[in-house]
Amino acid sequence: MAVQQNKKSRSKKGMRRAHHALVAPNIVLCPNCKAPSLSHVVCPTCGTYKGRQYLRKGTL
């Protein structure tokens, strides 16, 4: 069983947790239908991505 040798300071603990913050999702407007959607994902409203139709309308 692993047991630490010395107590970690508040500073070191904070440095370790510096990457644990939550990040808001990157929401952009679809260039085709102007609906909000996630970037780099097929638009759930119109089914297009980078100007190409991938899903028929209303399948999601």
**Domain map (residue ranges) of the chain:** 17-53
pTM (two decimals): 0.58
Give the model confidence (pLDDT) of 6-58 as tens digits.
999 999 999 999 999 999 999 999 998 999 999 999 998 889 999 888 888 65
pLDDT score, position 55: 85
Position with higher pLDDT, 44 vs 1: 44
How buried is 49 (Cβ within 10 angstroms: 0-12 exposed, 13-18 middle, 19+ buried)? Answer: middle
pLDDT score, position 1: 80
